[in-house]
Amino acid sequence: MNELEVDPDQLREQVRDKYREVAVDPHRTFHFHVGRVNAARLGYETQAVDALPDRAVESFAGVGNPFSLRRLQPGERVVDVGAGAGFDSFVAADQVGDTGRVVGVDMTPEMLKKSRATADELGYAHVEFREGLAESLPVEDGWADAVISNGVINLCADKKAVFDEIRRVLKPGGWLQFADIANGRPVPPEALRDIDLWTG
Amino acid sequence: MLEDAGFVDVEIGDAIDTFGGATGEEKARAYEVYGYAFRARKL
């Protein structure tokens, strides 16, 4: 193992297993909030959430609101890193409108199945979901006006690689707006090496 | 870390009690874990 606290591949597999459960069985109990209750707790606009079908919201496991510090502008091109079942991608799609584009990227097939089904149901031709990793986004250089993410980067072992990749896909002057968790007290080294604690 | 990665104009929102009332609350309290919104710009 290098300077990273955990093996990236092992962590990725555990994260994929956890969020597969969130995709297929969103009404069980997790160590975090999910669904419409979670969206309300995090201050999402009620009207935007109410307009979405359950499939788009029930597996939402975000930890904050990436739109709270900046609203996306009409026509912007957006990448959603770790899009899950697409909740934030659909909120973004409404903000950028038909002249914008949203590409949601996720590594969990069960999440992609839900997000793509919702895009079809809503008839959102300006939203697309691609399979990929935060460390190697399937997006061309300098494509995005904004990159959003919600509760994903903390689950990546190599955060520098993720931020480097986000910079690659952003245009100069582009915005990174994301939500994530941070700890106020230091976590002991032995806990950082305990992969089970990363995913709860 | 954001500035080290080449981002500027970094802004951080207020802390959000992300895990309050969830089963992960006790562990989150132990390390003062909260959610935050971040905004930054690529140079």
Q: What is the pLDDT of residues A139-155, one digit of tens each?
A: 999 999 999 999 999 99
In contact, A84 and A113? CB cutoff 8 Å? no
> What pLDDT, on a 0 to 100 scale, did the predictor assign at position A23?
96
Q: What domains sit in chain A, N to C, each tagged with a CATH number? A: 8-199 (3.40.50.150)
Is residue B2 assigned to a domain? no
Give the one of A70, A182, A200 whose C-beta lies nearest to B24's C-beta. Answer: A200
> B22 lies in which domain range?
7-42
- Spell out where chain A has E strands: 77-81, 101-106, 127-131, 144-150, 170-183
Q: Which residue of B has its CA nearest to A151?
A: B35
ipTM above 0.85, yes or no: yes
Model confidence, pTM: 0.94
**Confidence check: pLDDT of A2 > 50:** no
In contact, A137 and A104? CB cutoff 8 Å? no
Positions of chain B with pLDDT lower than 70, given as ranges:
none
Mean pLDDT of A107-120: 98
**Residue pairs between chains A and B whose CB atoms are closer than 8 Å:** 114
Number of structural domains found in chain B: 1
Mean pLDDT of A19-37: 94
**With bands split at pLDDT 50, 70 and 90, how would you rate the model's confidence at A199?**
low
